A and B are shown apart, each in its own frame.
Chain A
Amino acid sequence: MRRRLAWIVIGSAILILCGCWDQQLLKNERNVSIGGFDQGIDGLLRATVSIRDIQVSESGANDSSEVHSVLARSTQHARELLNQEVSGGYSPVKIRVLLLGEEFVRNHDFLPYFDVYYRDPKSPLNAKVAVTKGKAEDLIRIRKIGNKTIGLHIDDLLKGMEQTTAIPRINIQTLHPLDRGYDFALPYLVNKGGMPSLNGIALFSGTKMTEILNTDESRLYLLLSDSMGRDLRMTLKSKKINASNSYDYVTIDVKKIQRKLKVKVSNKQDISVKLHLKLRVTVVEDPSNHLYDITVMNNLERILSEQLTDDSKMIVHKMQKAEHDGFGIARRLMSYHPKLWKQLDWIKEYPQIPFDIRVSLQIVNTGITQ
């Protein structure tokens, strides 16, 4: 007993006297809420960050945003430079969104700049990534929109858009930059007169951006890649002829999707893809009000299906032209036809693969009116 107690006393004395090595007090840290990469001059990196400060008083919290920009050799270098400017400890641990300037990702392989995010154990792997038209810095320099700082605003914007399936759910971890077999797409933001707004998605081929899809296309793209968010709403033409007024549109809510993706390899080693999509939808807006008639409904179903099929074909065509394999055709080839895959020159092959696309739509519900 005595000896044990003595050991405990000695042990704890040693520990307490030695202090705390890896302490990083929350109060001393300055936390970045949004960061942006742009192409700088001479192959350098232009990094911009917004540090969110909050002051809590009895009357409530008060946000402010402090923006810093540096020209650095690499991401880690940028961190060091930023630390020289920022009071307190610079901490990128709580970054919510990383913005990439369009010019930067079109011309650069951005992956090396992301290395530090994968290597640092404290890095925020669940931060969202988005591409901005023009410079990311311009967007971050907005600082505040209403009461929200820019970082929070864009984070909430992207979150909302993910839920309505306008953009894919993606963060630094799920980018899969080392994964051959998938290409990813990132949200595409524009600066609309001092207000960041979503304008579709940017398609990547490998780690370079190649193409843009607008929001309508991106929804369909996400349906085709079987990655629906919480809900998905589309407003489509309800007539075959060119629509002239608002009576000619119908809005549908997708309830359930069933996607069949098959990669076929013929005996002659020709690859073809069959992509069938079945949608069950609810009509949420139909100004023409004719759905009580079953034939009208069937007609509408047919028109919408055709329209979606045509749109999908166009999207896939765009993807192929942009060498963007968002459906993971390559992954399927690797998994099911490993021998063929090893002989393949995928970059050359992919744009030539014939796609058999069919979208069929079924209205299951029309709201509380017919």
Chain B
Amino acid sequence: MIAAKEKITAGQFMIVVIQAQIGVGILFLPSSVESVARNDAWISILLAGMAALLLSVVMWGLNRRFPTMTLFEFLPKLLGKFAGKIVQIFYGLAFILECSMVLVLFTDVVRDWIFPITPRWVILGLMLATALYMARENIRLIARFFVLTFGLIFVLILIAAYAYKDANILYILPINESGISNVLKGMLRSMNSLYGFEMILLCYPYVKGGSKGILKATLFACVFSTLVYSFMVFMCLIVFSPEELKIIPQPVLYMVKALSFTVIERADLYFLTIWTVVVITTVMAYLYMGAKAVASIFGKKKHAGAVPYVALLILCISLYPHDQELINKMQIIVGIIAAIALVVLPFLLLCISYLFRIKGKEGAEG
């Protein structure tokens, strides 16, 4: 049983999911989706948001059958000891890779925008150390920190919204120029940025209140992140012409770079600074999940001991790619692994659970 001291409320859970979702994606999304879906990129994001909703419902449905267990606790029950272990390892790998991907992209941006000479390991080390300091704690304390820094997302939105003065709404037209298939391709690309709702698999038993509240919280979180992403993409689409978006990898930063307020100039530096905290929360979330996975692989109850090792592993992985091509390759690989872990597996597990009627002990209440 989980002690009351480790439980979080549904509201906290919602913010945990949002913080896990909104990370580096916010900078890359506009141009990466635009490159396939052109000026309909914002539709792609909205579609991706709906897909995320669907997936989180699947995960919720799966977890509802084991309301007192996390993913790693019910995997052996569902698949047997051996297969369960393999799937556990796979999930651990997925979380660790996703985390490294986030960090790789982050250090890339930092190198391009502020610190061209500073070695990558310094920035990576600092980020991971900060995340490690938090991720060792239980989900309740992590949730507290996430709630505290949640407001920063709104600061980012405000800064970006200020760029509206340079906007031209005509760029968004004509709608659906690129065709459905490209919009769908764009949707697949943007899925990567919406991952984070898998928190539900690990947090479900820790959330106070009934399963309906949890579902609501997850859905709200997905809707919120989708709206934030589509807002950012929309802003970029109306500030930059399609030609420009093609050559600007981080349009959001570029958009705020030229802004000058009366007291400050170069809003992009402030944007980056605040965004760093948002990325740190994402890293924390994945580090936590990764550590949970690793701890359960080795049959440990507490994840705190595994965190430093997982962080070290992530550091090594994220130091490896050093040119754009490798990063792109890594992105594809991580995308596939994440897709299997978050799309295919939960669905399969849900089917198995229903077909073989495997349920957690207190599964009836859901």
Contact = CB atoms under 8 A, between A and B. Distances in A.
Contact of A178 (B112, B125, B243): B243
B12 to A, nearest CB: 26
Contacts of B113: 121
Q: Chain B interface: which size bin?
A: 20 to 34
Contact of A171 (B118, B243, B258, B268): B258
A22 B174 contact: no
A235 interface: no
A121 B112 contact: yes
Interface string A169-184: 0011110101111000
Interface in A155-179: 171-174, 176, 178-179
A328 B243 CA distance: 16
A172 to B, nearest CB: 8
A247 interface: no
A335 B241 contact: no
Q: Chain A interface: which size bin?
A: 20 to 34
A18 interface: yes
A81 interface: no
B85 interface: no
B263 to A, nearest CB: 15
Interface in A57-75: none
B305 interface: no
A335 B173 contact: yes
Given A121-B114, A173-B166, A179-B241, A18 B122 contact: yes
Given A21-B118, A22-B116, A176 B170 contact: no
B168 A331 contact: yes
Contacts of A18: 122
B114 A22 contact: yes
Contacts of A174: 166, 258
Interface string A325-366: 000100110111010000000000000000000000000000
Nearest to B174: A338
Nearest to B257: A125
Interface in A1-50: 11, 15, 18, 21-22
A263 B170 CA distance: 13
Interface in A100-127: 121, 125-126
B362 interface: no
B116 A335 contact: no
Given A171-B258, A178-B247, A336 B241 contact: no
Contact of A336 (B117, B174, B244, B247): B174
A328 B170 contact: yes
Contacts of B6: none
B122 A125 contact: no
Interface of B: 112-119, 122, 125, 129, 166, 168, 170-174, 177, 241, 243-244, 247, 257-260, 265, 268
A-B pairs with the 4 shortest C-beta distances? A335-B173, A173-B258, A179-B241, A125-B258
16 contacts: A11-B125, A11-B129, A21-B115, A21-B122, A121-B114, A125-B258, A173-B257, A173-B258, A174-B258, A176-B244, A179-B243, A179-B244, A331-B170, A334-B170, A335-B170, A335-B171
Given A121-B112, A178-B247, A335-B170, 12 more contacts: A11-B125, A21-B118, A171-B258, A173-B166, A173-B258, A174-B166, A176-B244, A179-B244, A180-B243, A334-B170, A335-B171, A336-B174
